[in-house]
Amino acid sequence: MGQQPITFLRQVVALCTYPNLLDSPSFPEDSKKRARRILQGCGGNSLGSYSASQGINCIREDVAAYIERRDGGVPADPENIYLTTGASDGIATILKILVSGGGRSRTGVMIPIPQYPLYSAAISELDAIQVNYYLDEENCWALNVNELRRSLYEAKAYCNPKVLCIINPGNPTGQVQNRKCIEEVIHFAWEEKLFLLADEVYQDNVYSENCQFHSFKKILYEMGPDYWNNVELASFHSTSKGYMGECGYRGGYMEVINLHPEIKGQLVKILSVRLCPPVSGQAAMDIVVNPPVPGEESYAQFIKEKESVLNNLAMKAKLTEDLFNQMPGIHCNPLQGAMYAFPRIFIPAKAIEMAKAHQMAPDMFYCMKLLEETGICVVPGSGFGQREGTYHFRMTILPPVEKLKILLEKVKNFHIKFLEEYS
Amino acid sequence: MGQQPITFLRQVVALCTYPNLLDSPSFPEDSKKRARRILQGCGGNSLGSYSASQGINCIREDVAAYIERRDGGVPADPENIYLTTGASDGIATILKILVSGGGRSRTGVMIPIPQYPLYSAAISELDAIQVNYYLDEENCWALNVNELRRSLYEAKAYCNPKVLCIINPGNPTGQVQNRKCIEEVIHFAWEEKLFLLADEVYQDNVYSENCQFHSFKKILYEMGPDYWNNVELASFHSTSKGYMGECGYRGGYMEVINLHPEIKGQLVKILSVRLCPPVSGQAAMDIVVNPPVPGEESYAQFIKEKESVLNNLAMKAKLTEDLFNQMPGIHCNPLQGAMYAFPRIFIPAKAIEMAKAHQMAPDMFYCMKLLEETGICVVPGSGFGQREGTYHFRMTILPPVEKLKILLEKVKNFHIKFLEEYS
């Protein structure tokens, strides 16, 4: 998509990969300092050795220090940090442990609708029960605790709901939860003894000026010891999103709070079977949590690159929202964060009939037509879940701005033609 | 353990990580050529992009070409190659698919005893049935088809055995299967319609002069179309073993033969949820299958490094076998391949009683004593499985030869003292 990697991150990983480069004058001193620190944490000073299954110690320390800075001093313990193979590995692993040993009735896992399909896939693989709660599209995809309660109490009739998954900022919906909403969710989890699973991989991707990312952990701490000592929480981060976009490295971490020691034992066992997360991904994660600071040689370039990516994404988020909302029969909530638009599309009755005749979901029919006529590939809302009778698609805002404009123009022309054809 | 990485592999991965280095005169041309080829296969020419879930196309092509060369021209199709997050990820994934949907009776998975505990852990996670077949210790840990048959027919009484796992060269037992044995196993799998799972990660680690690695796939092909068109086979390789020892990169591949299209569909789905294997691990795998060739600039150094590692391992394998067999009450089969000794140890009745009093397996008791008295950590045979009433431990042969000698001397002194103490 044209987004360039952060130079400093790649320099450090290259130095770790081929330590002969530590003598090269073409690498800045601060990148060498980071590389030496990482290599000292590696068995035999090599990225090629297995690390501890939980991840390299000094990187877990850097993650904990990052979380403390991010959360204004809320304590973070490296012992609670687990490096993972991307966030999805952490999420799937913790779900596996929470779902097993459920007793007579099957474990329910509450997930937002729309959701990122990793959740439905993992739940189905584990033979658990997917318990849907609906985000409020009329209210900018807000999470409403009354809806959580409805969802939970209905589910209790047929399963044992134990886990509440939150995606903040939302994927595919892009909303950023406010502090009050997070407090309500935490209170609800505390009241109902639910394990909170906070997918916070888009924590650096917040664009709306009146929005701010609050970590679940920070709010949990600030709600006082009754919550802080009792609510079980796992939160996730990754090298794949933010301003770094290093998906291929499969770097990530999870932080767990109040995990029962027996569960922790199971977690360590299950992680050991897979040996360790990729060590180069661990190194990449280290740079995300331990980037250049003011006064260091690489700081200026790092900040320039980081802000360029984030400002660009913010601009594209606004552009996408505006252009969608100019199209007849399309409504798009503000893209407060993450990397996607999830506009609601009006599909005429005739098109719905036609889709049924083709044994397709109506939005799948729409997306296939869009693909055939324009070459643009977007994902139908039915892949993420949506309220019965509503239709959406998900589109990333990652293409370069000039391409994105052309692309949105094409979607518009297609959409108008589609409406005409099936009206 | 002092084993140095292969320079060429690290050079290529560093070039891919930080492509600015492609202009540097300190990297040889052949490493740059490899790096350019890999980057061309990456989205946006970057290791940071997600790859296809099956792995980067040109790397799968290189894997297929490698397999064809290895197997003397037996055809290999890149479409049948899946890059994985180390071999263990591939093994766990294929087991997951084979075990699911078993119908009324639970799926049985046949594994060698002693085994590498990834198998027992994966089988237990999947709630499948572990079906043990015993390797013949008296006969250098050979695999005997009569024992396979006994194991299978006994298991049919309580489960539905569908998968036969082979580890060749053996882990922890180090035997290298001969051609006749492999033919018999394939015939047996064909006859009994078992899915063959060949763990061949130690294919480069063969030390005994009268042994040779034969891939299951090659022999399957040579047995003719009746077998070649019918026996389902998955085989595994990795960057972690051999002469490269790049465990931290989590690189690996699996090749599948005669996989049912429906199963293949499931496989692709399950892999997609985890997005892709780490791309730097894929790059490392590429160099394992596409190393420097005669005439290329880096060939001489590559061969020198490779042979140095392998010759060293061969020497240590012989040394370890010899020294163990000089110890009273210890018998060690020839270490034909892999990286471990798995000697049988005599444990006196008094020590067995003492272990029971401590609620420990006798070999665990032995290994704990060894650890306490010498600081040497070996793994008790009970972690791998062994015939009732026999005791073993597993030790790697990876330490530098001088350390290995000291270590074996310490084990010897400990063992003699242990025998005296408990006789």
pLDDT tens column, B372-419:
999 999 999 999 999 999 999 999 999 999 999 999 999 999 999 999
- A252 forms bridges with which residues in the sheet? A84, A238
Region of A65 please: left (phi>0), alpha (psi -120 to 50) or beta.
Answer: alpha
What's the token pair of residue A143?
A: 């999470």
pLDDT above 70: percentage of residues in chain B: 99
A296 phi and psi, to 5 degrees?
-85, 150
Cα–Cα dist B83/B51, whole Å: 10
**B295 close contact with A: CB closer than 8 A:** no
Q: How far apart are CA A53 and CA A272, in angstroms?
A: 5
Please judge whether B248 and A278 are an interchain contact, meaning their C-beta atoms are less than 8 angstroms apart. Answer: yes
pLDDT value at residue B100: 74
User: What pLDDT was estimated at residue B2?
Assistant: 84
Rounded to whole angstroms, the Cα distance separating A330 from A307 reads 31
Contact B238, B244 (CB under 8 A): no
| Cβ contact A241:A276 at 8 Å | no
> Rounded CA gap, A389 and A137, in Å?
13
Q: Give which of A3, A8, A15, A17 to mutate to test B binding, by max B Cβ within 10 Å.
A: A17
CA atoms within 13 A on the CB side of B342: 28
Put simply, the answer to whether A14 touches B10 (Cβ < 8 Å) is no
CA B24/CA B204 separation, integer angstroms: 33
pLDDT score, position B315 = 95
CB contact under 8 A, A46 and B92: no
Q: Is the pLDDT of residue B1 over 90?
A: no
Whether residue B233 is predicted with pLDDT greater than 80 in this model: the reply is: yes
Query: What pLDDT does A104 receive?
Result: 66
Between CA A286 and CA A279 the distance in angstroms is 10
| Burial degree of B20 (CB within 10 A; 0-12, 13-18, 19+) | middle
Phi, psi for B173 (deg, rounded to 5):
-90, -15
- Over residues B253-310, the pLDDT tens digits come to 999 999 999 889 989 988 888 889 999 999 999 999 999 999 999 999 999 999 999 9
Cα–Cα distance measured from residue B174 to residue B153, given in angstroms and rounded to the nearest whole number: 27
Give me the half-sphere count of Cα atoms (radius 13 Å) on the Cβ side of residue A107. 23
Interchain CB distance below 8 Å, B50 and A277: no
Nearest CA in chain A to B2: A44
> Is the pLDDT score of B209 beyond 90?
no
Q: Which tokens belong to B207?
A: 């030390």
| Average per-residue pLDDT for chain B | 94
CB-based contact A335:A320 (threshold 8 Å): yes
Please enumerate in sequence order all residues whose Cβ is within 8 A of that of A47, keeping only pairs 6 or more positions apart, or say none. A16, A17, A39, A279, A280, A283, B248, B249
Look up residue B325 and give its DSSP letter. Answer: H
Q: How far apart are CA B65 and CA B69, in angstroms?
A: 6
Please give the pLDDT value at position B292: 97
- Closest residue on chain B to A274 (Cα): B88
Q: What pLDDT shows up at residue A102? A: 54
**Residues near B145 by beta carbon (within 8 Å), at least 6 away in sequence:** B181, B184, B185, B187, B188
pLDDT in tens, B141-180: 999 999 999 999 999 999 999 999 999 999 999 999 999 9
> Measured between alpha carbons, how far is B339 from B314 in angstroms, rounded to an integer?
9
Chain B residues touching residue A245 (CB < 8 angstroms) = 48
Q: Would you state the pLDDT for residue B104?
A: 67
A399 touches chain B (CB under 8 A): no
Per-residue pLDDT at A103 = 61
**Other beta carbons less than 10 A from residue A235's beta carbon:** 25
Name which of A20, A248, A277 is nearest B279 (Cβ-Cβ). A248
Q: Write out residues 57-116 of A within 8 Å (CB-CB) of B.
A: 85-86, 88-89, 92, 96
Is B278 in contact with A275 (Cβ distance < 8 A)? no
The CB density around residue A318, as the number of other CB atoms within 10 Å, is 15
pLDDT for residue B102 is more than 60: no
Q: Which residue in chain B has the smallest CA separation from A249?
A: B278
**Stretches in chain A below the pLDDT threshold 70:** 101-104
Work out the pLDDT band at B103, boundaries 50, 70, 90: low
C-alpha count within 13 angstroms, C-beta hemisphere, residue A50: 14
Instruction: Answer whether residue B242 shows pLDDT above 70.
Output: yes
pLDDT tens-digit map of B303-359: 999 999 999 999 999 999 999 999 999 999 999 999 999 999 999 999 999 999 999
Question: Quick check: A18 and B10 CB within 8 A?
Answer: yes
Task: Decide: helix, strand or coil at residue A120.
Answer: helix
Q: Are the Cβ atoms of B48 and A278 closer than 8 angstroms?
A: no
The more confidently predicted of residues B74 and B102 is B74
ipTM: 0.90
Mapped onto helix, strand or coil, the DSSP state of residue B89 is helix
Q: Determine contact, residues A28/B35, Cβ cutoff 8 Å.
A: no
Give contacts of B 262-291 with A, CB under 8 A.
269-270, 273-281
CB-based contact A386:A113 (threshold 8 Å): yes
Cβ within 8 Å, pair A278-B88: no
Residue contact B14–A18, C-beta within 8 A: yes
**Does B5 sit within 8 Å of A46, measured CB to CB?**
yes
In the block, tokens 């033609």 appear at A417
Determine the residue of chain B that is closest to A11 in CA distance: B18
Q: What is the pLDDT of residue B188?
A: 98
Rounded to two decimals, what is the model's pTM?
0.92
* A171/A342 Cα distance (integer angstroms): 9
Note the residue count of chain A.
423
